[in-house]
Structure 1
Amino acid sequence: MRVIWLRALLVIGFLLLTGCSTVSYYAQAARGQAELICKRQRIDAVLADHEQPEALKARLRLVNALRRFAGDELDLPPGDSYTHYVALDRPMALWVVSAAPEFSLELKSWWYPFVGQFEGRGFFNKQQAKDLADELRRKGYDVVVSGAPAYSTLGWFADPVLSTFVNFKDADLAELIFHELTHQRLYISGDTAFNESFATATAQAATMKWLAARGNEGASQEYAASVNRLDRITQKLRSTRDKLGILFSQPNESVVTQRKLKVGVYQALRAELKLLQNEPGFSGVKNRRRTPMNNATLGSAAVYHKHVPAFRKLFENCNQRFPDYFKAVGQLGKLPRAERHRALKVLRLAAP
């Protein structure tokens, strides 16, 4: 606890050097993090409490097993993360605002201490997220507000298990925990697409290994199929980004013409997603179609999936050995940003 409060004091000291609006934003972040610290219960204590539901205990035992597997088999030491449980009275841990200019797919970024530039603004209060979204829309941005069931403090605090994700399906819970632990393993300041793609690819490979170790072939096949479905959706989003990239790069097109053509591109994407919805296993696409389709949506998807094929290829090059893979990723992380992204492009082009 002493370490936690020393870190909190360090953050507060930084905030005193920033502007009023920034202080206001970080104040809500500090309150949200403080709530988690105050409400958390040790998982060992929850498991020993006879008044706690057995269903919750079963999920927490699974978390303990995932932590052990991460440390023993994946070279992902969990530290003190996921040793506590927090019951929240809201459906999401926080809400993230993403924004992009009307004729660009480059997401607006904000600077954060210890993290650097990040293409999103997270709020523990949904209304505050909506307020920022409205402000950005008035400035002409495409905006999307997304709920996040979990987030990583990158090792600054011991991340707890939250009620917002503890009841996920086994494979989804495993993927989430492995994803967040990957951020603690390696995080490159100011390179969100690298960090999130790395965590996504790593968590998927780790989940496949965990499912195989459990000996449940049916669960492994089901998860592999879900990853394949996500890849198909991601490919359609990537294709749409390519079309919009060409459109937005036309210097002689009028704003009116670009706006009209942009609407047509997004209408075509919605039609493709509607067709997918009718295929087996794609019923969840209906929920995705309810999400606003705009530049912010596509930009956010790119952050999490842009380099996934490259990291998968690197994992294969390392014979699917996690220690060797993490060493190779660490070498990539030491490169200057432009050189790092060129190396990722080479890997992506070599991927199946």
Structure 2
Amino acid sequence: MKRALPWIGWWAGLALLAGCAGTPSGDGVARYDEPTRQWVTDPAYYLQSVSGHLAVMRAARPVTDWLADPDTPERLRQRLVLAQSIRAFAADVLHLPRNASYTRYADLQRRAVVWNVVAAPPHALALHAWCFPVAGCMGYKGFYDEAAARAFAAGLPDRWDVGVYPVPAYSTLGWTNWLGGDPLLNTFIHLPDGELARLIFHELAHQLVYVAGDTAFNESFATAVERIGGTLWLAQAASEEARAAYRVFDERRQAFRALTRQTRDALQALYTQAAQEGWPAGRTDAEKARIIEAFGQRYETLKAAWDGFAGYDEWVKQANNALFAIQAAYDEWVPAFEALFHEQGRDFAAFYRAVRELARLPRPQREARLQGLVSAAALHSSVPTRSM
């Protein structure tokens, strides 16, 4: 236990990191110039972060033990074997860290490892920020207990748009590998094969590069790695059955992304116009309600062709500024990172070195470089090429 004491400060910030792979990601822009920032000083919150993560670690057992246990259900056994294969692919092909992470498994007996609370003003797609030691300011606050998350959300200002959503996985950035690393969890082990691979790649990417307080940079980098890596894994290592299942899953996700992006754009246009023209709050509220109602109706039309799949229902029921804003953080700079990957000759080691160089830049310079990559990629894609 003596060795664990210096790490308590880090563990106290683990809930801040929960959010990776937690929501369906969109393709819009969510800036983190929050109208409000708040340092988290409540000792009880940090205590739940410490105790919650320690409970996850205690519940985890080596995958080899699960595989050797005759009582392990066959379906779980197959998923664990697949996860180990994905883990090896991550290290061998994607040059992601080869360490203790995802070599253990825990059944938490609940549907999420944490629940995140997000909040935004009523007329802006800008997130309230909670600030923590080490991790910096984040656009969400995580809780290991769902009831605690909902109670905290209920206590936020009435005029704020507030959301609570389940998170299947989070990254400790490699800091707890000496304790066994981030474990596989029941909250995501039964995802479709392609999604399981993407999630593992995403979380391992966080162990390579992390910039305190820059959620969009961190999540966009990890999302780019998961997309690039997921495509390679499906092509090189997945079964035809897995590829077919993934195509169905991804088509639904892309359709949902397109719908949320369109809705987010409509909301942003509304708030910009209302601010420029000085609309009364009631008029803005009414137009906002109309846009979100139309979003729900279009979602129901979309879902009708999904053979009963209802994976986005919970999100759609509470759709608001906060959820649209946090959704966008996962993809804001993805085109830039994908362009950088191609700029580095699709060489993962060179790509990661270039990303680390970006991470060391002051934020204005970093974002200027990322914007330049986005612009260059858009220009390149607009240039016609002759078919061979």
Aligned mates of 1:65, 1:269 — CA distance in 2: 39
C-alpha displacement of 1:310: 2.4
Instruction: Name which of structure 1's ranges 232-241 and 42-51 shifts more when overlaid on structure 2.
Output: 232-241
1:91 corresponds in structure 2 to 111
Aligned mates of 1:192, 1:323 — CA distance in 2: 23
1:126 corresponds in structure 2 to 146
1:234-291, Cα deviation, whole Å (9 max, x unpaired): 2332333233223223241111111112112222322332332244689447626643
2:8 corresponds in structure 1 to 8
What is the alpha-carbon root mean square deviation over aligned residues?
2.6
Are the counterparts in 2 of residues 98 and 107 from structure 1 also a CA contact under 8 Å? yes
For 1:74, give the aligned amino acid. L
Unaligned runs of 5+ in 2: 13-38, 382-388
Which residue, out of 53, 75, 82, partners 2:95? 75
Are the counterparts in 2 of residues 196 and 304 from structure 1 also a CA contact under 8 Å? yes
Aligned mates of 2:200, 2:10 — CA distance in 1: 27
1:325 corresponds in structure 2 to 351
1:173-231, Cα deviation, whole Å (9 max, x unpaired): 11111110011111111110111121112112111111212263553355356445434
Are the counterparts in 2 of residues 234 and 305 from structure 1 also a CA contact under 8 Å? no
User: Percent same amino acid at aligned positions?
Assistant: 35
1:63-114, Cα deviation, whole Å (9 max, x unpaired): 2212211111101013111122111121111101111111111111111222
- The answer as to 2:229 corresponding to 1:206 is yes
- The answer as to 2:85 corresponding to 1:65 is yes
Alignment of 1:140-289 (within 5 A): 140-157=159-176, 158-214=181-237, 216-217=239-240, 219-220=242-243, 222-223=245-246, 226-227=249-250, 229-249=252-272, 250-251=275-276, 252-279=278-305, 283-284=309-310, 287=313
- Would you tell me which structure has more helix in proportion to its own residues? 1
Unaligned runs of 5+ in 1: 13-18
2:75 corresponds in structure 1 to 55
Aligned mates of 2:202, 2:311 — CA distance in 1: 22
2:22 corresponds in structure 1 to none
Instruction: Name which of structure 1's ranges 39-48 and 106-115 shifts more when overlaid on structure 2.
Output: 39-48
Aligned mates of 1:308, 1:162 — CA distance in 2: 26
1:15 corresponds in structure 2 to none
Aligned mates of 2:75, 2:86 — CA distance in 1: 17
For 1:266, give the aligned amino acid. I
Aligned mates of 2:233, 2:357 — CA distance in 1: 26
Greater RCO between the two (CA within 8 Å, min separation 6)? 2
1:298-344, Cα deviation, whole Å (9 max, x unpaired): 01111112222222232233333222222222222222212222332
TM-aligned CA distance change 1:289 to 1:179, over 3 Å = closer
For 2:188, give the aligned amino acid. F
C-alpha displacement of 1:116: 0.8
Are the counterparts in 1 of residues 11 and 49 from structure 2 also a CA contact under 8 Å? no
Aligned mates of 2:10, 2:357 — CA distance in 1: 30
Normalising by structure 1, we get a TM-score of 0.89
TM-aligned CA distance change 1:282 to 1:189, over 3 Å = farther
For 2:103, give the aligned amino acid. T
TM-aligned CA distance change 1:202 to 1:304, over 3 Å = same
User: How many pairs were matched up?
Assistant: 346
TM-aligned CA distance change 1:209 to 1:335, over 3 Å = same
